[in-house]
Amino acid sequence: MAQALPPTLTNVGTVVSVRGSVVDAWFPKQLPGYLNRLNAGEDGQVVVEVVAHLSADMVRGIALTPTPGLARGAPVVDQEQSLQVPVGHALLGRMFNVFGTPIDKRDPLEQVAWRSIHQAAVPLMQQSTQSEILETGIKVIDVLAPIERGGKTGLFGGAGVGKTVLITEMIHNMVSQHQGISLFCGIGERSREAEELYHEMQAAGVLDQTVMVFGQMNEPPGARFRVGHAALTMAEYFRDDAHQDVLLLIDNIFRFIQAGQEVSGLMGELPSRVGYQPTLATELAGLEERISSTSTGAITSVQAVYVPADDFTDPAAVHTFGHLSASIVLSRKRASEGFYPAVDPLRSSSKMLMPAIAGKRHYDTALAVRQTLATYDELKDMIAMLGMAELAAGDRQIVYRARRLERFLTQPFFSTEQFTNKPGRLVSLDAALEGCERILNDEFADYPESTLYMVGDIQEVTA
């Protein structure tokens, strides 16, 4: 469905130059506003966003659609408004592009409100100052790297370690536990990944409470750069108008920075450190600061983060880290050992894990679990060379505890039931803490390690 446009569009200009995605246009009557949408070409199919005023009658824009066929002298119509996307409950279960057009080959949307993708962040006075933990029902995350409600969590991991499965499970738990809405935003995704995720969510039964927005890898940089803003505008409706909690999943935030870098290069801006755009910090903050919680609802974000060449000093990684309140690191080694979810308990961390926020019991238990696992990690080389028999009695005890904790922190997922034939488990934070405490107190020293593998709460072991 085409977006409803203003009835009388009389501000018409002419294309002066086309350089890839950069379009310069001349408007003799009136200069279009900054960030206005222009439709260029004889059929108006090329969508351009104004990003600079060059003179009193010249504008420069970035094309959000491919420009082949667009020539000098072609007409340009000022739509007298910025890019708009649809908002409302009619979006649930659907898949959209950056213009809010459905791309799932289903019926077009009818009777929906449209809203500009350029919205201001919630003023500080209206933001919630309460730091709350959002329970995900996943033991290893809730205990060792709790997520902040209304905060931003980074999900780090390479290909094939379970990022998508973890994202699908979080969506399932958000819907079942918090009656919330999930919104998936794919920035620079491969179209294969988008299609697979759509079918996986359909199979897991979570699609009807999810909205999906994609700016795919083959699209121009302008479209990839704006798709995050489009998704946030849809999420803000559910938070501010419907007063619901929203889980916003972004895959991948690095590609947003990369698209901004391409746009900056096309515009001829001087590059900054390592070739990044000089406006990197501002652009990232403009997107991230819109993710927040108010007294009536919250947007909680989980963002997949690609770290270029594993260099954590890269400007893209440094600026992204500054916005995150928790980091969940997925480890290929743990995945190969069969520990799912493959979260690395020693490299994952959260700012929520403080006695004042999480509570003394949670803080002390998490600290003890981490210390036990860290000591076991240090002893692994000695065990590999000399065997368990050469360890001191105290160290042997720690190893037994750590091995039981590792297995207890695995969990069967609802989204993988058809592969594992194990029913999914949703474990409350209290139950997860109780299980960790009892293992640390050696209550399960006589139980085989395998009895703690892939269970929900600790009662299942005793039963």
Which residues are identified as catalytic? Answer: 163, 189-190
With contact defined as beta carbons under 8 Å apart, do 200 and 415 qualify?
yes
Q: How far apart are the C-alpha atoms of 340 and 78, rounded to whole Å? A: 53
* Helix/strand number for the chain, H first, E second: 14, 18
Cα distances (Å, whole numbers) of residue 263 to 51, 124, 213, 228, 428: 10, 30, 20, 15, 45
Instruction: Provide the terminal-to-terminal Cα distance of the chain, rounded to the nearest Å.
Output: 56
With contact defined as beta carbons under 8 Å apart, do 108 and 1 qualify?
yes
How many CB atoms are located within 10 Å of the residue 230 CB? 25
Residue 402: name the closest of 361, 436, 446 by CA: 436
SS (H, E, C) 124-152: HHHECCCCCEECCCCHHHHHHCCEECCCE
Query: Helices 253-266 and 221-240 sit at what angle, rounded to 10 degrees?
Result: 130
Query: Helices 429-440 and 393-408 sit at what angle, rounded to 10 degrees?
Result: 160
